[in-house]
Amino acid sequence: MIKKILKGLAIFLLLAIIAFYFASKPTATKDGAYIPSPFALKLATSPTTDFDNTVYENPHTGNKKVLMVCTEERYMTMANGKKFSTGNHPVEMMLPILHLKNAGFEVDVVTPTGKSAKIEMWAMPEEDENIKKIYSEFKKKFENPGSLSDFVQNSMTDSTDYVAVFIPGGHGAMLGLPESKDMNKVIHWSHDNDMHMLAICHGPAALLAAGMDGNKESFIYNGYKIASFPDAVDEQGPMIGYTPGELPWIYGAKLNKLGVTIINEAADNTVHMDRKLISGASPQAANEFGKLAANELLKAVNK
């Protein structure tokens, strides 16, 4: 009897291991890349969000806007050569936009050269009507964004329309933006003009553009504390099939070398403000990040 029970348990465990193996394998796409495994999607995404539709007293009625800088690159080549299908995370884009709009701020969308903004559609919360509505409203902007290069060359210096720069997360924020000279100029422009910088999850990777020379002493955010997606969690990505291999580089460690401290250890709902830099740890932080940003921008324009 005991032998039969043990044999049954062994078969059960074997089947469970096999099921987990297949459930934790990244899913191949038609274009030869990979999206997160079914297991990883269950852990890391949700069909709804915690957007609370905050009503802001005395919303902004002027012309101040937020410049949202998105990635135009879809594929991240991992250390093993496999391609991860990424972009910007929809919750980290759309949920803060909902709060900014409720507070009366328009949001302009740009990518490095004006190519379409890439979005991790596999992370779209399909049962969240608020997110689906704002995505539909901004779909044309995402498909035909402005060019960051054109903005820097033709509009940035003389522009007084903007109150903040917003860099949403998703691993796509690590593609193209950290080494962009235009991103470098926008960061310095926003800092020199006492604007807010908003960056969530992997978005702070783009801040590395301000320190491309590797000089810690001259880095704008040397000495700052932020909430951001932890390197240690990124390192676990291949284990659950979130990514099809190890990342080609780790952005948090590079920020650390430039004097930035990441205050959270988990990919949680931590948000933080250090001077004019507002940051959030993960999609779980998007609601509080959006509220904090909206409230601080209202304070800035109402001075």
For 260, list phi and psi in degrees, rounded to 5: -95, 135
Tell me: the pLDDT tens digits for 222-241? 999 999 999 999 999 999 99
Residues of the chain with pLDDT > 70: what percent?
A: 92
pLDDT surpasses 80 at 11: no
Instruction: State residue 303's pLDDT score.
Output: 79
Stated pTM of the model = 0.92
pLDDT surpasses 80 at 6: no
Cα–Cα distance, 282 to 247 (Å, whole number) = 17
Report residue 199 as tokens.
């960056």
pLDDT surpasses 70 at 116: yes
Tell me: the pLDDT tens digits for 51-69? 999 999 899 999 999 999 9
Cα–Cα distance, 32 to 42 (Å, whole number) = 23
Residue type, 1: M
Instruction: State residue 71's pLDDT score.
Output: 98
Taking each helix axis from N to C end, the angle separating 129-143 and 90-102, rounded to the nearest 10 degrees, works out to: 100
Q: Which residues are catalytic?
A: 201
Q: Which among 119, 117, 113 is positioned nearest to 85, based on CA atoms?
A: 119
First to last CA, the chain: 79
Instruction: State residue 158's pLDDT score.
Output: 80
Residue type, 247: L
The single-letter DSSP state of residue 67 is E
Compute and round to an integer the Cα radius of gyration of the chain: 20
Instruction: State residue 2's pLDDT score.
Output: 65
How many other CB atoms are found less than 10 A from the CB of residue 139? 11
How many other CB atoms are found less than 10 A from the CB of residue 96? 30
The single-letter DSSP state of residue 119 is B
pLDDT confidence of 23, banded at 50, 70, 90?
low
Is pLDDT larger for residue 189 or for residue 5?
Answer: 189
Residues of the chain with pLDDT > 90: what percent?
A: 86
Label residue 129 exposed, middle or buried (CB < 10 Å: 0-12, 13-18, 19+): exposed
Report helix, strand or coil for 238.
helix
Instruction: State residue 16's pLDDT score.
Output: 40
pLDDT surpasses 80 at 293: yes
pLDDT confidence of 112, banded at 50, 70, 90?
very high
* Total domains in the fold of the chain: 1
Cα–Cα distance, 227 to 271 (Å, whole number) = 6
Tell me: the pLDDT tens digits for 249-274? 999 999 999 999 999 999 999 999 99
- 141: domain CATH number is 3.40.50.880
Is pLDDT larger for residue 5 or for residue 26?
Answer: 26
Tell me: the pLDDT tens digits for 242-255? 999 999 999 999 99
Residue 240 domain boundaries: 2-301
DSSP per residue, 270-291: -EEEETTEEEESSGGGHHHHHH
Instruction: State residue 17's pLDDT score.
Output: 40
Tell me: the pLDDT tens digits for 128-187? 999 999 999 999 999 999 999 999 999 898 888 999 999 999 999 999 999 999 999 999
Cβ 85 vs Cβ 162: under 8 Å: no
Tell me: the pLDDT tens digits for 93-102? 999 999 999 9
Instruction: State residue 12's pLDDT score.
Output: 46
Within 103-164, where are the H helices? 129-143, 148-154
Instruction: State residue 5's pLDDT score.
Output: 56
